[in-house]
Structure formats: C-alpha cells, structure tokens
Amino acid sequence: MGSFAHILSIEDARKAAKRRLPRLLFEYIDRGAEDEISIAANRERLDAIELAPSVLIDVTGRSMAAELFGAVQPSPLIIAPTAVAGLVWHDGEIALAKAAAKAGIPFCVSTQSITPIERIAAESGARLWFQLYVWKNRQRTLALIDRAFQAGAEALVLTVDTAVGPIREYNLRNGFSIPLKPSLRAGIDVALHPRWTANVMLRALLTSGVPTYAHYPDEFRTPIGRKSLSTEVDLAPDVTWDDVRLLRERWKGKLILKGILTVEDAEKALAHGVDGIVVSNHGARNLDCAPGPTDALPAIVAAVGEKLEVLADSGVRRGADIARFIALGAKGVMIGRATLFGVAIGGADGASHVLNLLHQQLSATMGMLGARELSDIRLA
Ligand SMILES: Cc1cc2nc3c(=O)[nH]c(=O)nc-3n(C[C@H](O)[C@H](O)[C@H](O)COP(=O)(O)O)c2cc1C
C-alpha cells in the first residue's frame, strides 16, 4: 500500500485531496450546483437501497468481471470523463489512464481535457473512450471526433445533460471562473498550497506551458482561464437528436449517450441507433432538481436493457454503491470524483489505490451477498 496506508476509504482520499488542492479546485471537483440538493439526494437514495444476502454459498472464486460492448473486463468500472483532471496532478489525465490500464478498465477522455488524447493513448496503453461536448461549429466538432477515432478511442460518449452551463456560486466566490478573474482570495488560496503549485503549475510551465484545453483547435486555444478566441468552440445550446443522427453516421465505433434520465429519452436513443446510454445526473453537478439515476434505472433497463448497454453513475463512494447500481440493472458503472481524489493525492498510484479500494469493497460486498458473479447481486 506504500504511502497510501492511511487512505482506507474514498472519504479518506477526499479529505487528503482537500488538504492538497487549492480550495477553488477542490470545491470545483467536490461540490454540486445551486443549493446542492441533488448531491445529498443522490447519497440518500443510494444509502436506502438494500441488497439481498444469500447465505451458505461458496464464494471462493467470485468474479467481478463484466462484459461491456462485447469486451470482457475485470470489473464493471469505467473512469468517467472529468474536465481539467490535468489541473489536479501533472499530466493528470495520463495518470488516470495509467490507473485504468492497470485495472483493465476503460478511461473516458473529456473534450475539456488538458492533455491531448494522442498523448494519453501513447503514454498510458489504456482502452480509451472519448467524451464529446458539441461545439457551436459542427464541422469542427466532426473533425474532433475524427481525431479521437484516429487516436484509437473505442467509444464516443456524447454528454446530453449539459445544454447550458450550470450555476455554481462557490466557483464565482472562489474565483474559479472562465475567464479567470484574478483575486486576492484566489491568490492566497494558491499560495497556501505550495505542493500543488510546484507539482502542477510549475511543472506545466516547465514542460508543456500554461495549461490549455488540448482538444480546442490550435488557432483558438488560450491558457485555461482566458476566454476562447472564438465562439465556434463554445458549447452549443442547440444540440438535438439531429446531432445524434449526424454523429451516428460519422462515428464508426460505439456511440453512447451520457445523462439520460427518462424512459422516453432512452427509447429515442435506441431509435437513433446508439449502442449504449449512461443513466446519470452528472454527479449532481448540473440540474439541482434532477431525479436520481437510481430512481430512473429500473424502468429504463426494463424498456431498453435488452437492446442497449445501460451504464450508470453519480455518487459512487463505496463498492456497495457499485453493487447497488448493478442490482438496479446497470451493466457498468462510471467513477468520477473518487478517482479524481485519488489522482490528486498521488497521481497514477493514488488513482490505482482508489480503484483497489473500490474493488476490495465490491468483492467483500459480493462475498457477503453470496454473489459469485455480478448477475447474482439482487435487491432485497
Ligand atoms: C471535476 C469534474 C469534471 C467533470 N467533467 C465532465 C466532463 O467534462 N464531461 C462529462 O460528461 N462529465 C463530466 N463530469 C461528470 C462525470 O463524468 C460523472 O458523470 C460524475 O462525476 C459521476 O459522479 P461521481 O463524481 O459522484 O462519481 C465531471 C465531474 C467532475 C467531478
């Protein structure tokens, strides 16, 4: 366990990340939107789900293996796309991808990654998915997904729950906005976290330069914190099912819609020829009156689960939470904040430690449930 011997849970990793990161970055990762009702509701809903233990079953050789999109992986996890993971640790996206590779699970690269997908592919050896935010300029968006395909992305994950920017007041108070507004408070915050400043900002300046959104076209790219030089790469507020059609025609790999919460939308996704969906409320970071994915999953799985690969995320902090999503019918589960906390405290090793904790906890939960494989996990 090395230097992570004292990190026994995701909450331990969260607390350690809180000490390590400037407040403006920690809160950007950790918190929700508006009154943060959904973030607490996600937790309460997960906590309320009980699983049925079957006793006197030999669980010696139990397996967490999952088959997703025709490929078998050792566990049902996928590292979720998280913007600016590269601000949490030097080359943070590569660190996350290395941890994913070690665990044999896919890493989903965000459109708003600091590290370009080509470098992540070359330096991590991970199976990659690519998350897409559609830009106002659709031709440039198509060029971006061509680039992701060339780099070896197996799946395109179109995020459909972020039609507009969310309201997060603490980001404004902390001075974490784009464009960044220099403030005394933000300056003191950064100055009080010299380990982060040395590991992330100084190393960036000495190697690749001031962090930028790596996937933006060269001519529009500005340092993180400044406004983009063109509105062409602003997130489009007019993304519709026509865009799904366009992407389906162009993208030759698996196509996944992330952020579905109703049966109607899941059925539309199926009708548009997508391969999978992620039932998610974006980790309660966007719509503060959203239903929880745990509430939405059973009906969605009943409606489309035979034809689409149904994944889920939002709120996983324990192996038992993974088991809960699986019991509700999810085939795979994305992990957002937990692995970011891991990478914040120790790069790839920290992220691997967090994945190991989640795997150990899932294995223990399965053992006590008498579940030899994921499909044995049942609701109480
Ligand atoms: C700091 C941060 C940045 C995120 N950025 C993105 C993103 O760029 N695209 C996206 O589709 N989802 C993004 N998400 C949402 C995650 O992909 C995922 O849905 C969510 O974190 C799952 O909830 P959890 O953090 O409780 O595991 C982000 C989440 C966090 C915490």
CATH code where residue 172 lies: 3.20.20.70
Kindly tell me if the per-residue pLDDT of 74 is higher than 90: yes
Kindly tell me if the per-residue pLDDT of 167 is higher than 60: yes
Q: How far is the CA of 282 from the centre of ligand 1 (A)?
A: 6
* End-to-end Cα, the chain, rounded Å: 34
Q: How far is the CA of 58 from the centre of ligand 1 (A)?
A: 37
Closest CA to 235 of 344, 162, 308, 296: 162
Kindly tell me if the per-residue pLDDT of 335 is higher than 70: yes
CA 46 from centroid of its chain's CA atoms: 18
pLDDT (average), residues 122-135: 98
Binding pocket residue ranges, ligand 1, CB within 6 Å: 28-29, 80-83, 110, 112, 131, 159, 258, 280, 282-283, 285, 313-316, 334-337, 340
Q: Hey, what's the torsion of the CAs at 25, 229, 91, 172, to 10 degrees?
A: 0
CA 28/CA 343 separation, integer angstroms:
15
pLDDT value of residue 180 = 62
Kindly tell me if the per-residue pLDDT of 185 is higher than 90: no
List, by residue number, the catalytic residues: 282
Q: Which residue range forms the structural domain that includes residue 108?
A: 2-376
pLDDT (average), residues 288-316: 98
Kindly tell me if the per-residue pLDDT of 153 is higher than 50: yes
Count of the separate structural domains present in the chain: 1
Q: Whose CA is nearest to atom 8 of ligand 1?
A: 83
pLDDT (average), residues 307-319: 98
What does pLDDT average to over the chain? 95
Q: Whose CA is nearest to atom 29 of ligand 1?
A: 82
Tell me the two tokens of residue 179: 């464009």
Give Rg (Cα) of the chain: 20
